[in-house]
Amino acid sequence: MIEYKRSKILKILLVSAELLGLLIGLVPFLIGFLSGTGVEFNKARSSLEFARVIQVNTPLVFWLTFLLLLIVIFGLIFYQYRIFKKDLLEKQAKKLYTWDILRILGGVGIGYLIYELIIYLIINQLYFHGAFVSIPFILSIGIIIGTSLISFSDFHTVQIILYPLFKRILKKTETLKLTIYKPTLNYIKMAKNLVWVILGFIIIFPSLIPLMGLSPTSELQPSSGYGSQDRPFEVDTFQVENDLPENITAFVTPRNENNSWYIYYYLPRLSVATLSSTQNIPIALYCHGNSGQDVVEYDYSLRALASRGMAVIFVQYSRSFNYTKILEKVEVENDTEAYSFSSYIKYNMTWTGMFSAVNTLIGNNSLISSSELNETLGTDYTIDTSRILIIGHSVGGGMTLFIGSQVISEGWASQQLIFDLEAPTTSATWPSVNVNLSILPNYTMVNVIGYEDDTVLSPCDGMAQHERFFTRDNSIELNPDQVAFLLIRSDRYGFPRLVATHYLPNDPLIDTLSVFGYHRRIDAMASFLVADANSGTVVANDAKTYFQGGGENMIGMGLWSDGTPVLPLLYSTDPWGLRDGPNILNQLLDPDDEDCQL
């Protein structure tokens, strides 16, 4: 007869192990969220990266994970069976303390996985909208495995549930009786474990068909042409500090770790290329989103543009401001005006860096030495400031109007000017950055893109920007064919599910929608400008069909593996239906949404 009594601390830990694991994950997350460190965005990014790794070999991951679950469950049952078969029950009972420690560790693990699952479900609601089923599948499998370990290491539970079965199988007549801490079955504990198992299977069930590899898959990337890996140039990068005036930095808090903000250059490595004549290099100016200060968020896009032969400039701006100081030192009357002033800071941080960067490339300052530039660009090149591409995502999309006005005031973009606004905000209203688009040249070309499942900004914000560009702020209208509104639609037909979220341009979410709906277009824009600058008329005309006119090259999104077309982009030169054009508002959006009131 063996008597086993648990200490109070051990009892508390056994009861609260899952809660402890949950708090280990949740408390740091909440602290980071409340302190405004962007922990939720970083979590979304890491989840995206994890999902991308898994989705490369999803069926293999599924079967290995499912096999692991079966091995654990049947392995534990077989282990307990051997103990009973060899009459080792009493020997194992002496190890109850060790089993309890394992159960505590397992409970903490389950609690932490539950935290990961809860956060994932929240982030999924905000960002992913069901795009990834692999992450909840793996987390749920982990919870079920942990619950199995706890259940089968609970010696008393095993004795009551499994041993009668083993006894019947082996036809034993003797029963080893143990006096354990609780001589009766703990139904609450069993119910709790059962809840975790049921929850896990509920989450797993919708994932089974796609994860088994039985759903159609989408074409990730064209094998050649725009959006493919077929690039004419390799790319070099440079990082220099953005020298900002005090009237900007005084209101920014916190700064980067070393109190600096940076300008990034992505340049084509022409020095190793065989060129038949002087290479003219147009310029791309990239305005990042509000949470996209880290250049890695857009590295794929920046490299793609530079690899076509463009000089690409990316400038960091702050998302954190000292609003108390703004209210004290700036002539603002309320928080709304203070926020508008913060947009003024963002816009001017960006333009200050872009202006310095362009002047570096044309030799008017020495942020990068001429020897370093020549090592990358060679000596037979010309920086072409007459052809400019301005791309902006989210807040950066709203910023492009101001950046464009500054470009024009400098006398740049005298030959070609292209705007690409991805899920843009409306533009800032602070007087010195609230531009009038009547200054746009007649040759301006514009793509404004909304995403169907964008829960951060309404596509109607982009439609309002489209109307501003088309009418040039109610002055002389541009040619309708030059100003396109596109809506990228979600397509959940196969696997992976294709969901058009606000973060589609960010590097972690590189899938069929981002490649065909975004990367291919800006790739073609870059190719057009480079070809136009270097007398490549045929290439330039072909490239234009990918971002102008609404033809198949522009709106086609490839095929699912069973031949079904991925839902094409919706294209319109009149998304509000004001001029009898295709009314996107009534097709997919909510006309009653307050953001959709023109």
pLDDT over threshold 90, residue 202: no
Q: Which residues contact 324 (CB under 8 A, 6 or more apart)?
A: none
Six token digits for residue 576 = 């509000």
Secondary structure of 72-106 as H, E, C letters: HHHHHHHHHHHHHHCCCHHHHHCCHHHHHHHHHHH
Cα–Cα distance measured from residue 106 to residue 99, given in angstroms and rounded to the nearest whole number:
10
Closest Cα partner for 315 from 285, 282, 275, 360?
285
Question: CA dist 152 to 22, 181, 244, Å?
Answer: 22, 17, 63
pLDDT over threshold 70, residue 275: yes
Residue 446 and residue 418 in contact, taking contact as beta carbons nearer than 8 Å:
yes
pLDDT > 90: percent of the chain: 40
Average pLDDT value for residue range 135-140: 79
Q: What pLDDT sits at residue 479?
A: 95
Cα–Cα distance measured from residue 439 to residue 443, given in angstroms and rounded to the nearest whole number:
12
Cite the beta strand spans of 170-303 per DSSP E: 235-241, 262-268, 279-287
**What band does 128 get if pLDDT is binned at 50, 70 and 90?**
low
Write the DSSP string, 305-364: HHHTT-EEEEE---S-B-HHHHHHHS---SHHHHHHHHHHHHHHHHHHHHHHHHHHHTTS
Dump pLDDT digits (tens) for 440-484: 999 999 999 999 988 888 899 999 999 999 999 999 999 999 999
**What band does 340 get if pLDDT is binned at 50, 70 and 90?**
confident
Dump pLDDT digits (tens) for 300-319: 999 999 999 999 999 999 98
Sort strands 483-488 and 570-572 into parallel, antiparallel or unpaired: antiparallel
Cα–Cα distance measured from residue 403 to residue 400, given in angstroms and rounded to the nearest whole number:
5
Q: Which amino acid is present at 448?
A: V
Q: What pLDDT sits at residue 311?
A: 98
Cα–Cα distance measured from residue 354 to residue 348, given in angstroms and rounded to the nearest whole number:
10
Q: Which residue has the higher pLDDT, 304 or 32?
A: 304
Phi-psi bin for 239: left (phi > 0), alpha (psi -120 to 50), beta?
Answer: beta
Q: What pLDDT sits at residue 376?
A: 95
pLDDT over threshold 60, residue 183: no
pLDDT over threshold 70, residue 361: yes
Lowest mean pLDDT among 14-18, 200-204, 449-453: 200-204
Residue 562 and residue 216 in contact, taking contact as beta carbons nearer than 8 Å:
yes
**What band does 181 get if pLDDT is binned at 50, 70 and 90?**
very low
pLDDT over threshold 50, residue 345: yes
**What band does 355 get if pLDDT is binned at 50, 70 and 90?**
very high
Q: Which residue has the tokens 């679950």?
A: 69
Dump pLDDT digits (tens) for 207-255: 666 666 667 778 878 888 999 988 899 999 999 999 988 888 888 876 6
Dump pLDDT digits (tens) for 59-99: 777 788 888 888 887 887 777 777 666 655 556 556 667 77
**What band does 130 get if pLDDT is binned at 50, 70 and 90?**
low
Question: CA dist 561 to 55, 219, 495, Å?
Answer: 16, 7, 10
Q: What pLDDT sits at residue 61?
A: 76
Closest Cα partner for 317 from 338, 345, 358, 355?
345
Cα–Cα distance measured from residue 535 to residue 162, given in angstroms and rounded to the nearest whole number:
81
Q: What pLDDT sits at residue 127?
A: 67
Average pLDDT, the chain: 83
Cα–Cα distance measured from residue 381 to residue 370, given in angstroms and rounded to the nearest whole number:
12
pLDDT over threshold 90, residue 266: yes
Q: Could you say which DSSP state residue 279 is in?
A: E
Six token digits for residue 184 = 């009766």
Q: What pLDDT sits at residue 506?
A: 85
Q: What pLDDT sits at residue 179?
A: 44
Q: Could you say which DSSP state residue 438 is in?
A: G
Q: What pLDDT sits at residue 383?
A: 96
pLDDT over threshold 50, residue 206: yes
**What band does 1 get if pLDDT is binned at 50, 70 and 90?**
very low
Would you call 29 exposed, middle or buried from its count of C-beta atoms within 10 A (0-12, 13-18, 19+)?
middle
Q: Which amino acid is present at 372?
A: E
Q: In Å, how far from its chain's centre is CA 120? A: 13
Closest Cα partner for 459 from 288, 584, 297?
584
**What band does 29 get if pLDDT is binned at 50, 70 and 90?**
confident
Q: What pLDDT sits at residue 467?
A: 95
